[in-house]
């Protein structure tokens, strides 16, 4: 997809423009073509910076916020954010990074998810300065001739350059023509809004480059494809994902958010500082050096990271308050920092309540209701350090999220609602 193409560097008229460009390029993974952002910035007008979202889940995670924070940087530099709700493309299903086709959602599900995530986007992006579009505006009206024109712009060989498609093809796993259409439809979004820049995660690079190809086909100056790194989730291995349950949501309560950050592997702390906070790059470099030299304790750095993230989404001071609660529960009651997160099943909750023995079984801290009742009767069960004495207690589900359930001295689980 012409990844090697590059623009000649233009002459600069303002020293300040170099500082702006450096800020916008901070922590990016890929910019295609190389030097392209410099050329676009030299145009001298606000650039149209596109970000598309397919509302396939109801929450916004810190992983999603990585690219949203970059969009906010472009806003603060005076450029126009163009946010596209993929209400049409979501019906097709983005195949990026998938080993099989995505399940298709109903229009009602898509609309509900869209309302939820757009509200949460306001925690990161200035929604008052966003040009908000739905791609059904232009995709629903395409006739067969227009669809055939899109299909004629690429080849099957080009589509099989995608790693996920190539792997499935090699394994003789099915790839539908509908999935082949997705990159074309996303690319056509760039034509419809005349994007100068498109943002996305590294798993979106193929789709962003397809937008460049289609803009050429339609006589437009191709957009810059700018990708951000994918953020690993709480397991430290896989991409942060709601479907995997390894995520931190931007609307998680402060205590829960703090506790989740404290559970990430130490090796991810610097990466989270870079991608999820406003800590200056120079200070992050000093922290990284201090950790490598053994001059900084990982626990102190992780608590700083957790405070920074909680403050971002809940206001200045919220991180310190959450830290106090964390210390109170985990240090005073000797709770380990790597407490496993357990998502309750919906069937465990009835009328907003959870029966305590069922809770213990759901979290894996007891093997049966009878064993759970005995543990409570023997005084071995605590919730956030407070003993639970009634074996038939019914606990309010909403109040359990983020709390630590303990049985005996060594078994713990942090509760997460479905």
3-state SS string over 346-363?
Answer: HHHCECCEEEHHHHHHHC
Q: Is 342 within 8 Å of 413 (Cβ atoms)?
A: yes
pLDDT (0 to 100) of residue 55: 87
pLDDT interval class at 145 (50, 70, 90): very high
User: What does pLDDT average to over the chain?
Assistant: 88
Residues composing the chain: 418
Going from the C-alpha of 99 to that of each of 21, 132, 175, the distances in angstroms are 37, 31, 9
pLDDT (0 to 100) of residue 15: 38
Given a cut of 70, whether residue 50 has pLDDT beyond it is yes
Given a cut of 60, whether residue 362 has pLDDT beyond it is yes
Given a cut of 80, whether residue 2 has pLDDT beyond it is no
**Per-position b or e across 321-332, b if 16+ CB within 10 A of its CB:** bbbeebeebbee
Given a cut of 90, whether residue 104 has pLDDT beyond it is no
Given a cut of 90, whether residue 78 has pLDDT beyond it is yes
Write down the domain spans for the chain.
Answer: 15-228, 254-330, 341-416
Closest listed residue to residue 300, CA positions, set 275, 323, 333, 329: 323
Q: Higher pLDDT residue, 278 or 151? A: 278
Q: Judge if 15-228 and 254-330 fold alike in CATH terms.
A: no
pLDDT (0 to 100) of residue 379: 82
Q: How many CB atoms lie within 10 A of CB 149?
A: 16
Q: Higher pLDDT residue, 77 or 401? A: 77
Q: What is the CATH number of domain 254-330?
A: 1.10.240.10
pTM of the model: 0.77
pLDDT (0 to 100) of residue 227: 97
Q: Determine the topology of domain 341-416 in CATH.
A: 3.10.290
Tell me the pLDDT tens digit for each residue of 265-298.
999 999 999 999 999 999 999 999 999 999 999 9
Going from the C-alpha of 192 to that of each of 50, 133, 323, the distances in angstroms are 11, 10, 47
Tell me the pLDDT tens digit for each residue of 238-251.
999 988 888 999 99
Closest listed residue to residue 190, CA positions, set 138, 148, 144: 138
Please give the CATH architecture assigned to the domain spanning 15-228: 3-Layer(aba) Sandwich (3.40)
Q: Is 318 within 8 Å of 311 (Cβ atoms)?
A: yes
Given a cut of 60, whether residue 12 has pLDDT beyond it is no
């Amino acid at each position: 997809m012409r990844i090697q193409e590059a623009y000649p560097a233009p002459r600069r008229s303002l020293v300040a423009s170099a500082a702006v460009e450096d800020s916008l390029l901070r922590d990016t993974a890929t910019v295609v073509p190389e030097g392209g952002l410099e050329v676009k910035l030299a145009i001298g007008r606000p650039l149209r910076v596109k970000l598309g979202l397919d509302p396939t889940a109801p929450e916004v995670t810190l992983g999603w916020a990585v690219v949203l924070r970059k969009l906010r940087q472009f806003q603060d530099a005076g450029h126009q954010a163009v946010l596209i709700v993929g209400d049409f493309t979501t019906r097709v299903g983005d195949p990026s990074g998938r080993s099989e086709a995505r399940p298709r959602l109903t229009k009602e599900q898509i609309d509900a998810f869209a309302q939820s995530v757009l509200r949460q986007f306001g925690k990161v992006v200035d929604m008052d300065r966003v040009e908000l579009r739905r791609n059904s505006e232009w995709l629903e009206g395409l006739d067969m001739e227009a669809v055939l024109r899109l299909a004629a712009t690429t080849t099957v060989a080009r589509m099989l350059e995608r790693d996920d498609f190539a792997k499935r093809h090699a394994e003789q796993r099915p790839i539908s023509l509908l999935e082949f259409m997705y990159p074309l439809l996303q690319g056509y979004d760039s034509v419809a809004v005349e994007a100068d820049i498109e943002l996305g995660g590294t798993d979106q690079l193929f789709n962003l480059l397809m937008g460049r190809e289609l803009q050429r086909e339609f006589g437009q100056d191709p957009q810059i494809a700018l990708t951000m790194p994918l953020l690993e989730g709480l397991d430290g291995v896989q991409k942060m994902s709601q479907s995997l349950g390894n995520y931190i949501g931007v609307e998680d309560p402060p205590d829960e958010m703090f506790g989740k950050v404290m559970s990430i592997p130490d090796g991810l702390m610097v990466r989270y500082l870079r991608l999820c906070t406003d800590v200056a790059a120079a200070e992050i470099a000093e922290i990284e050096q201090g950790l490598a030299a053994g001059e900084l304790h990982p626990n102190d750095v992780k608590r700083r990271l957790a405070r920074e993230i909680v403050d971002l989404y809940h206001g200045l001071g919220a991180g310190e308050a959450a830290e106090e609660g964390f210390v109170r529960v985990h240090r005073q009651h000797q709770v380990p920092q790597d407490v496993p997160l357990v998502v309750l099943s919906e069937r465990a909750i009835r009328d907003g309540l959870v029966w305590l023995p069922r809770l213990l079984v759901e979290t894996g801290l007891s093997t049966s209701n009878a064993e759970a009742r005995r543990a409570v009767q023997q005084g071995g069960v605590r919730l956030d350090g407070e003993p639970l004495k009634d074996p038939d207690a019914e606990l309010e589900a909403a109040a359990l999220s983020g709390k630590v359930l303990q049985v005996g001295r060594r078994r713990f689980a942090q509760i997460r609602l479905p």
